[in-house]
Amino acid sequence: MNAVFIIDKPSGLTSHDVVNRVRRILGERSVGHLGTLDPLATGVLPLVAGNLTRLAQFYTASEKTYEGTIRFGFATDTYDAEGEPTTPAQSVVLDRGQLDAVAPRFRGVIEQMPPPFSAKKIHGVPAYKLARKKKEVSLAPVQVQIKSFEIMSCEDDMATFRAHVASGTYMRCVAHDFGRELGCGAHLAWLRRTRVAEFDIADAHTLAELESASRQGSVEDLAVHPRQLLPQMPSLTASEEIAASVRSGRAVNLPDFSRAKQVKVFYGQSELIAIATRVAGTLFHPRIVLAPEASLQSVAPAGR
């Protein structure tokens, strides 16, 4: 099965848990995700299956959009609601003007210290494994880009926000650092990812919906149409001759795409057979071949 699904991840499951569930539902071993979500978080988790797992390399720097809630009054060791308090609890009544004054410090290119409970590796060991054993976690700050960060509302000790960030940004850190700026401590109480690259929450499906569709034999109706993938790349509907060359990994001449760096190559309307990269002039070489044989068909609805 070659397909892409947008899953609305529930809270309490790791991204790997979701991948395992989908492997069982689809009966497909080759399934991966396009960007980890913390167990607490919900929302957009794009999954790639079959040969389309090879598309993951094009999504390593995907931008993301979030909605969430920060609780002020105390910090936690995980920087979110699942952790243990690390500062004494304070009674806090938020002032919207104060929040709006601090929010700009979390926009643009900033330095961010990754949380100790993260997948960042220290001498090859994930930081969270060391943190769980109460061992010292020494991480270096990294530059991240926060393209927008807006406080939407506040009530008592809770503030809601919306953010659009570049890859590698930890919203848990934003919550933690916001509390430090105000001097009262804070942590991420709730987080929902509403967009990753071209994948939007409006098009997401729950695990229950995917399972139901699998039982009814209509799981292809929930797949993202391949034409919607990687919209920044132009698409070519290949002739029999070009498709045969591409499937066998041979370079092809594409005079209509002289200004493109990469092209999505389709056979028919829904079979994505390759991503081709321009090597010189109008000569393109298949960077990855997704359907080396004509018998391999992508799973995708015909009319979406």
Give the residue numbers annotated as catalytic, written as ranges.
38
Residue 214 DSSP label = H
Distance CA 171, CA 146 (A): 10
User: Hey, what amino acid is at 151?
Assistant: I
Distance CA 11, CA 203 (A): 18
Distances (CA, A) of 262 to 154, 257, 284, 304: 45, 9, 8, 24
Q: Which two tokens stand for residue 301?
A: 């609805």
**For residues 278 and 284, is the Cβ–Cβ distance under 8 A?**
yes
Distance CA 201, CA 191 (A): 13
Residue 65: name the closest of 150, 4, 141, 131 by CA: 150
Distance CA 46, CA 28 (A): 16
Residue in this structure with the two tokens 């009544």, named with its chain if needed: 93
Residues with Cβ within 8 Å of residue 107, at least 6 apart in sequence: 146, 147, 148, 149
Distance CA 304, CA 112 (A): 40
The strand pair at 42-49 and 186-196 is best described as parallel
**For residues 79 and 188, is the Cβ–Cβ distance under 8 A?**
yes
Q: Which two tokens stand for residue 203?
A: 């098009």
**Residue 56, φ and ψ in degrees, nearest 5:** -55, -30
